Structure formats: structure tokens, C-alpha cells
Copies of this chain bind each other. A is one copy, B any other.
Amino acid sequence: MKQDIFQAIADPTRRAILTLLAIQALTPNAMAQKFDMTRQAVSKHIKVLHECELIKPEHSGREIYYHFNAKKMQEFDHWLAQFRQSWETQFNQLDQLLTTIKEQK
């Protein structure tokens, strides 16, 4: 069952994992040590992140290093794009309001 990136980042632990992995690749055990949580719990988060391809595994002997996949994270950027115009518009309106108030003085 394919996971969706929006749900993947909804969880604080998963966001923390992504922040860690953006700096350096880590094994599941290494991640579990960072958070006060069993390895299996972290492993489930890893599974979610992996299924939606936000992270990628790199096998090295019996260890698995998970890497952050920046390309996938860009999908948020694309989703956000539809709102950029809105916030620019709202800020322009704010500017206009401020200008109007200034002129009224």
C-alpha cells in the first residue's frame, strides 16, 4: 500500500528523522538511539518514509544506511506553488492597506 508524502511528514518523529538524514545517512539502530523509542517503532516510520520514497536504503554488509531523497521532498515545493500567488497577493494587499493608511495621515 503506497504511502503519501503528506501523511509521511504529518508525524513529528518522521520529520525529525528526515532532518537527521538530510545531514547524514544513518542506520535504523542509530536513529532509534537518537529518539527514546524501540528500534521496531523507528523501523515502522522508516517503512513509511521508504514507501513514499522520501528516503533510500543503501546496503552495506548487514547494515542498512538510509539516505534522504531530496528529489521527492521537492514535491512539497510543487504543491506549495499553487498557494504562492495567493500569499503574494495577500501581501500586496497588505502593502496597499499600509500605503492607504499612510496617505490618510
Question: A15 touches which one: B6, B12, B87 (CB < 8 A)?
Answer: B6
Interface size in chain A (residues, C-beta < 8 A):
25
What DSSP secondary structure best describes chain A's contact surface?
Answer: helix
A46, B19: Cα distance in complex, Å: 30
Q: Using Cβ atoms and an 8 Å threshold, which residues of chain B touch A15?
A: 6, 79
For the complex, is A90 an interface residue (Cβ under 8 Å from B)?
Answer: yes
Q: Using Cβ atoms and an 8 Å threshold, which residues of chain B touch A90?
A: 70-71
Q: Using Cβ atoms and an 8 Å threshold, which residues of chain B touch A73?
A: 80, 83, 86-87
Residues of chain A having any CB pair with chain B under 8 Å: 6-7, 9-10, 12, 15, 18-19, 22, 68, 70-71, 73-74, 76-77, 79-80, 82-83, 86-87, 89-91
